[in-house]
């Protein structure tokens, strides 16, 4: 299910579902939201996040991505709010487990990937820290901007490293138990939003190849920055699961 990029003016004017997305880099929150809409075959129009037009903040309520806006409803920027909006617009196929216990587990694990202090958040702090030290990661100006915006403090860099390694192991442990039981997905027998989050957040560790995910050299270099402990915590089954998800459920090439 493809989507079209439109101008901010057009997006503000038109009805339906529009989503502000970060350009030039496979932002995992944005790629997850795109993936959910794709699986559910929900039509939408994309607006690239711009840093020079004040109206984006007025319209979307913030200058970050993704922000999903349906008709005149309030903007939704949280991963769970975007997921629930998609479930409302297209209940089938559902990306939530039918079993209530598994559903609660899914939201818990998804929070550990997408939420504040989760895998994506902690990985971003790692890449900011590396950038500020001049050891890979985000280029200096971007690292400085993100540091101020996302609560970076040098003294928390070590705890971000630990969080990243723990969470990668939490995910691969669960996936391994499922694989041992002959199940390729994180929960039960079918694909859920958790599979989408895991697959898209791997972009922060091992981005997809240039032929399906074109981006500037420095962005790729940033995302590929790995210290030894993080590298050791990336079980190849996480990448194999990512590849399976892109092959069977998500769209390639990425349209950034
Ligand atoms: N609001 C999202 C997280 C969004 C987020 O972290 N967005 C980043 C993704 S790279 C962003 O917009 N970065 C660019 C910027 O802040 O300028 C959620 O809570 O689910």
pLDDT digits over 48-63, tens only? 999 889 999 999 999 9
CA distance 137 to 221: 7
Per-residue model confidence as pLDDT tens digits over 220-255: 999 999 999 999 999 999 999 999 999 999 999 999
Residues having CB within 6 Å of any atom of ligand 1: 22, 27, 29, 64-65, 77-79, 114, 149
Measured by CA distance, the residue closest to atom 13 of ligand 1 is 64
Q: Are residues 67 and 166 in the same domain?
A: no
Query: Candidates 19, 25, 27, 201: which one to mutate for ligand 1, based on the most atoms within 8 Å of Cβ?
Result: 27
What's the CATH code of the domain at 18? 3.40.30.10
Q: Is residue 154 part of a domain?
A: yes
Q: For a pLDDT cut of 70, what percent of the chain falls above it? A: 100
Distances, alpha carbon 95 to alpha carbons 87, 89, 189, in Å: 8, 12, 12
What's the CATH code of the domain at 147? 1.20.1050
Q: Are residues 85 and 109 in the same domain?
A: no
Measured by CA distance, the residue closest to atom 17 of ligand 1 is 64
Element (H, E) at 70: strand 67-70
Is residue 1 over pLDDT 80? no
Q: Is residue 94 part of a domain?
A: no
Number of domains present in the structure of the chain? 2
Per-residue model confidence as pLDDT tens digits over 211-227: 999 999 999 999 999 99
Query: In angstroms, what is the span from residue 256 Cα to ligand 1's centroid?
Result: 15
Asked whether the beta carbons of 207 and 224 are under 8 A apart, the reply is yes
Q: Are residues 78 and 106 in the same domain?
A: no
Q: Is residue 106 part of a domain?
A: yes
Residue of 120, 128, 137, 130 whose CA lies nearest to 171:
120
Residue of 209, 204, 233, 184 whose CA lies nearest to 31:
204
Strands of the sheet containing 17-21, edge to edge, are 4-5, 45-48, 17-21, 67-70
Measured by CA distance, the residue closest to atom 2 of ligand 1 is 78
Q: What's the token pair of residue 51?
A: 């840093």
Q: Tell me what pLDDT residue 2 has.
A: 82
Q: Are residues 124 and 232 in the same domain?
A: yes
Q: Are residues 44 and 131 in the same domain?
A: no
Measured by CA distance, the residue closest to atom 14 of ligand 1 is 64
Boundary of a domain, candidates 30, 64, 89:
89
Q: Tell me what pLDDT residue 156 has.
A: 87
Q: Are residues 137 and 220 in the same domain?
A: yes
Q: Tell me what pLDDT residue 177 has.
A: 98
Query: In angstroms, what is the span from residue 150 Cα to ligand 1's centroid?
Result: 9
18 DSSP β-pair partners = 45, 69
Per-residue model confidence as pLDDT tens digits over 177-204: 999 999 999 999 999 999 999 999 999 9
CA distance 153 to 185: 36
Boundary of a domain, candidates 89, 118, 147:
89
What's this model's pTM, rounded to 2 decimal places?
0.97
Per-residue model confidence as pLDDT tens digits over 78-99: 999 999 999 999 999 999 999 9
Q: Please give the distance of CA 105 from its chain centroid, rounded to a whole number.
A: 19
Q: Are residues 75 and 107 in the same domain?
A: no
Residues 60-87 have a mean pLDDT of 97
Query: Candidates 36, 51, 64: which one to mutate for ligand 1, based on the most atoms within 8 Å of Cβ?
Result: 64
User: What is the number of the ligand 1 atom nearest to the C-alpha of 114?
Assistant: 20
Q: Is residue 253 part of a domain?
A: no
Q: Are residues 133 and 46 in the same domain?
A: no
H-helix segments, 115-251: 119-132, 140-149, 157-180, 193-201, 217-223, 228-233, 236-248
Boundary of a domain, candidates 89, 113, 139:
89
Q: Which residues contact 244 (CB under 8 A, 6 or more apart)?
A: 184
What's the mean pLDDT when you consider all of the chain? Answer: 96
Q: Which residues contact 71 (CB under 8 A, 6 or more apart)?
A: 15, 16
Q: Are residues 23 and 68 in the same domain?
A: yes
CA distance 6 to 47: 6
Q: Is residue 254 part of a domain?
A: no
Q: Is residue 38 part of a domain?
A: yes
Q: Tell me what pLDDT residue 159 has.
A: 95
Q: Are residues 122 and 239 in the same domain?
A: yes
Q: Are residues 47 and 147 in the same domain?
A: no
Q: Is residue 95 part of a domain?
A: no
- Nearest-Å Rg of the Cα atoms of the chain is 18
Q: Are residues 243 and 136 in the same domain?
A: yes
Residue 175 domain boundaries: 100-248
Q: Is residue 27 part of a domain?
A: yes
Q: Which residues contact 141 (CB under 8 A, 6 or more apart)?
A: none
């Amino acid at each position: 299910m493809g989507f079209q990029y439109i101008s901010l003016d057009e997006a503000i004017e038109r009805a339906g579902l529009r989503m502000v997305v970060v350009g030039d880099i496979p932002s995992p929150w944005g790629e997850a939201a795109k993936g959910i809409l794709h699986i559910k075959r929900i039509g939408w129009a994309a607006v690239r996040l711009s840093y020079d037009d004040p109206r984006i903040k007025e319209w979307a309520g913030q200058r970050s991505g993704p922000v999903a806006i349906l008709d005149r409803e309030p903007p939704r920027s949280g991963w769970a709010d975007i997921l629930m909006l998609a479930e409302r617009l297209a209940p089938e196929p559902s990306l939530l487990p039918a079993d209530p216990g598994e559903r609660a587990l899914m939201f818990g694990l998804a929070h550990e990937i997408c939420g504040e202090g989760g895998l994506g958040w902690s990985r971003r702090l790692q890449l900011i820290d590396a950038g500020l030290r001049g050891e890979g990661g985000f280029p200096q100006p971007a690292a400085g901007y993100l540091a101020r915006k996302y609560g970076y403090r040098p003294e928390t860099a070590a705890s971000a490293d630990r969080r990243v390694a723990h969470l990668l192991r939490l995910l691969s442990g669960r996936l391994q138990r499922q694989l041992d039981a002959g199940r390729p997905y994180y929960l039960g027998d079918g694909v859920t939003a958790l599979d989408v989050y895991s697959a898209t957040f791997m972009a922060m560790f091992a981005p997809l190849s240039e032929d399906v995910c074109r981006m500037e050299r420095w962005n790729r270099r940033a995302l590929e920055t790995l210290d030894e402990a993080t590298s050791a915590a990336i079980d190849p089954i996480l990448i194999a699961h990512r590849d399976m998800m892109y092959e069977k459920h998500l769209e390639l090439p990425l349209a950034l």
